[in-house]
Amino acid sequence: MKWTPGRTSQDVEDRRDEGGGGGFQFGGMHLGIGGALILLVLSLVFKQNFFALLGNGGAEPSSTTMSKPNSARDQEQPLVQFVSFVLDDAQKTWDQILPQQAGRPYRHAKLVLFRNYTQSGCGGAESATGPFYCPADEKVYIDLGFYDELSQRFGAPGQFAQAYVLAHEIGHHVQKITGIESRVRQMQHANPRTDNALSVKMELQADCLAGVWAHSTQQRNLLEQGDVQSALGAASAVGDDRLQKMSTGHVAPDSFTHGSSAQRMQWFQNGFDSGSIAACNTFDSGQ
């Protein structure tokens, strides 16, 4: 991806020097990839829907950890500049697209960088949770170490794979602004049996909205050869079926919360091909 290093976004809130700490992890957030994997394993092993704890204020204690030295901060600086660029580019894009296509003004989300543990408007967040968006405070939370996991553990290297992850979380912010997030939560509360199915539709729509942003980068000649394949590889790598296969050796579609690899790739591609929010209506798609 073509981009110019050199600055940190004004929408970045850097908490990396806060260090670790104890605390509790509560519900209300859009669970990240790492957290989804943990809850998935627990649900399958104990035959209990641990994802339901997210909607019922379930909590678990966090571990106490130490902050990394300044050398780690220096090593992360190029990545900080890259995510700053992606954040600003995505939000400037939505500044234009949302009023044009949805008749609503866009307001900027904040990106919180942390290490080990921090507090969010949705409760405590740990590195193992993975990147997530908290609708209560309209902030995206990420420990930059996750990108090493994405490349090494999940086999999805490349800068545009990293960009896809952030653009997906900003997609959740768009859902908050347009009222989709609140309507889905109301439906889940009214009928808890629909929790997983509605969660899948929410996540797939966020993938599609990430694709809408990627479409704009193509229009502005920011993409380089292999970028789209890198994003599709990341979408495939974090599909529920692939994560289940990695963790348990089995696939249980009824427990999906984010969608299969094929679905996630398809909906990102839908947004990328169309550049249209209207193409991201996962709720009427039958998937």
pLDDT category at 6 given cuts 50, 70, 90 is confident
Closest CA to 94 of 4, 177, 23: 177
Compute the mean pLDDT over every residue in the chain, rounded to the nearest whole number: 85
Measured in residues, the chain has a length of 287
- DSSP string covering 12-44: EEE-GGG-----EE-SSS---HHHHHHHHHHHH
pLDDT of residue 26: 39
pLDDT category at 93 given cuts 50, 70, 90 is very high
The alpha helices in the chain, defined as continuous H runs, are 33-46, 52-55, 70-102, 146-152, 159-178, 180-190, 195-219, 227-237, 240-248, 261-274
Judge whether 211 and 173 are in contact, CB under 8 Å.
Answer: no
pLDDT of residue 286: 63
What are the b/e assignments for 186-216, b being 16+ CB within 10 Å? Answer: eebeeeeeebbbbbbbbbbbbbbbbbbbbbb
Report the relative pairing of strands 110-113 and 139-142 from DSSP bridges.
parallel
pLDDT digits (tens, 9 = 90+) for 218-247: 999 999 999 999 999 999 988 999 888 888
The predicted model gives 85-97 an average pLDDT of 98
pLDDT at residue 65 tops 60: no
Q: Considering the chain, what percentage of its residues have pLDDT values greater than 90?
A: 62
pLDDT at residue 153 tops 70: yes
pLDDT at residue 75 tops 60: yes
The predicted model gives 246-263 an average pLDDT of 91
pLDDT of residue 43: 54
